[in-house]
Every structure is written in structure tokens, then in C-alpha cells.
Chains A and B, each alone.
Chain A
Amino acid sequence: MKYNTKKLTLTALFAAIALIIFIIEAQIPLSFSVPGLKLGLANIVTLLILFLGGSWKARDAFLVLLVRVLLAAFITGNTMSFAFSFAGGLLALGVMLAVKMALKDEAIPVVSVAGALAHNAGQIAMAALYMQSTSVFAYFPALIAGGIISGLFTGFAVYYLFKKHPKFIGFIGGKK
């Protein structure tokens, strides 16, 4: 692994940003009859790293995800949410990579939606395994609808970051 000072600092910064988004997001009550629904805004950071290119690889996105989930578990003291977040996050990362490779024209919102849906699927599967019950799948349709909306939102957020701030993208070592 080759990490110069700038990249190491930026990776740590990304992890910190993702963690802050994750914690602020947990305070937003989204309980309109769909328990478990979250905005998934922390995925913005993963998505950004995936599309940066240059010296940024999927490995870096994985590292940031791991640090974010670990620190969130330490801060909230919720060890179980670690397993859930990690399962969801890892599945989302894998699916986003696959969809990104399949769609060569780099459609950020589409990749983002795929990631959000994979994240929900991973969490539901974990919950079903833990509960030894398939009842949790009753929530899946609502989580799919919510995941599509939040996935589009985070996708367009990253898309406009690339489009409107090419200087920033260039500064952090991404392609123009």
C-alpha cells in the first residue's frame, strides 16, 4: 500500500466526515411508519471515493467504511449495530463496484441506488438471520422505496460535487 502524507490525511478526513454524517443522521427521526429507514447519507463518502479515480481505489473506500463503522460502534456503544452496518456497507460497496463496472458510462445516481438497495438487503438479511424469522421481510418493500429515494439523493449530491467543483476533485487527487 502506497500512502503519501496527503493521501493518508485525506483518507482520515474522509473517515471523519463519514462518521460525522453517520452520527448526525442517526439523530434525524424518520419514523413515519417505516421503522429502520435511514437516509444513508454516509454513503456519499464511499460513492465519492469510488468515482474519484486517479490514485483512489475501491480499497480506500473499504478502509473508510471500516473505520467509520468501527468508530461509530465505539461511540454509540452499540456492538450489534456494528455487525449490521458492516454487513450492509460491505454488500453495498460490492454491488456498487459491480454496477459501476457494468455501466461503463459512469452513472453515479444509478450506482448509488444499487448501493442503497444492497445496503437494505444486507441489513434485512442480517436481521432475519439474527431473529430466526422471515417477518422482517415485511419491511422490505418500504425499505426499497426509501432506498431508491435516498440513493437518488446521495447519487445526485456526488454527481454535482464532481460537476460543480472540479477544482476540489482535482485537489484531492481525482480525475478532472
Chain B
Amino acid sequence: MKLSGKKNIVCYCIIAVIFAASLVVWYFIYNAEIENPVAKIYKNGVLIEIINISDYDLRFSFTVGTPETGINEIKVKNGEIWVGGITDCLVQTCVKTGHIGSNGRTIPIICVPNRLEIRIVGGENIHELDAVAR
């Protein structure tokens, strides 16, 4: 049982490089500025809603799903979208992800048990996407 040794040192260097690289990539994912962000909501891999999140000055909330597929309450206000309220999943990861859409927070909200996903994308082609959704 040794901690030193040539192979070990090489391994620690590789680990350090991977660690640094992952932090850099994470920083860019977390801080991606997107112009005119819109939120796309997917349920079971299907796009069900596109929301222009900057349109709502007052809080607007709605639910997605049924008791069978799992209910998530989605809230929108001032360019931010988040999951909260009556959300019936065991892990609550989607709630803990918090608000996305503003301050460059573009990490997708993902609720694995309910197969729900909220993605922030640039809004330049929102009309084209709207046409697809309808």
C-alpha cells in the first residue's frame, strides 16, 4: 500500500487535469449568456410548451403532467423559470435546481422520475418553433 510511485504520480496528474477541465466546462455551461431566452418544456421527450419567460412580470404558474406521469408545478416570473409548489417526485432535484433563465443560468431543469425537462434556448427562432408546436 503506497501512495507514491511513478504510476501513482501520473494518475494524480491526470486526475488534476480532468478536475480543472471539468470546472472550466462547468463554468461555461453555468454562465452562458443567451439573447432573448425562451424556455422549452419537454415531457416524455416531447416538446409540449414554449414560454417567452421575459413576458411575465407577475408570477405565472401552471402544472404539467397527470398523477400517473407525475405532476410538476412550473412557475415563471421576470425572465426566470423554476419548479416548485406541488411537485410529486421523490428526489425533488428539479426543485433544488432553482431558478434558471436569468443571470446566465442556463443549466436545464431535469426531473428524471417524471421525465420532465426545461431547457433555456435563444429566442431568435421562437416563431418557427411555435409553428412546430401548434
Contact = CB atoms under 8 A, between A and B. Distances in A.
B96 to A, nearest CB: 4
Contact of B110 (A135, A140, A148, A159): A135
Interface string B1-29: 11101011001100100110011011001
Given A133-B45, A145-B26, A148-B19, A105 B93 contact: no
B108 A138 contact: yes
A136 B11 contact: no
Interface stretch (A2-10, A28-36, A56-64, A86-94): A28-36
Contacts of A139: 107, 110
Interface stretch (B52-60, B74-82, B111-119, B126-134): B111-119
B61 interface: no
Interface string A121-144: 000000100111101101111101
A113 interface: yes
Nearest to A143: B22
Contacts, number: 92
B2 A106 contact: yes
A141 B110 contact: no
Interface residues of B, number: 35
A159 B108 contact: no
B27 to A, nearest CB: 9
Contacts of A140: 22
A80 interface: yes
B117 A133 contact: yes
A110 B12 CA distance: 7
B65 to A, nearest CB: 14
Given A106-B1, A132-B45, A141 B113 contact: no
A135 B26 contact: no
A130 B91 CA distance: 16
Contacts of B93: 35-36
Contact of B1 (A142, A145, A162): A162
Contacts of B91: 78, 81
Contact of B7 (A33, A107, A113, A132): A107
A145 B19 contact: yes
17 contacts: A33-B107, A35-B97, A78-B90, A103-B8, A105-B7, A107-B5, A110-B8, A110-B11, A127-B112, A135-B119, A139-B110, A144-B22, A145-B19, A145-B22, A152-B15, A159-B1, A163-B1
Interface of B: 1-3, 5, 7-8, 11-12, 15, 18-19, 22-23, 25-26, 29-30, 42, 44-45, 90-91, 93-94, 96-98, 107-108, 110, 112-113, 115, 117, 119
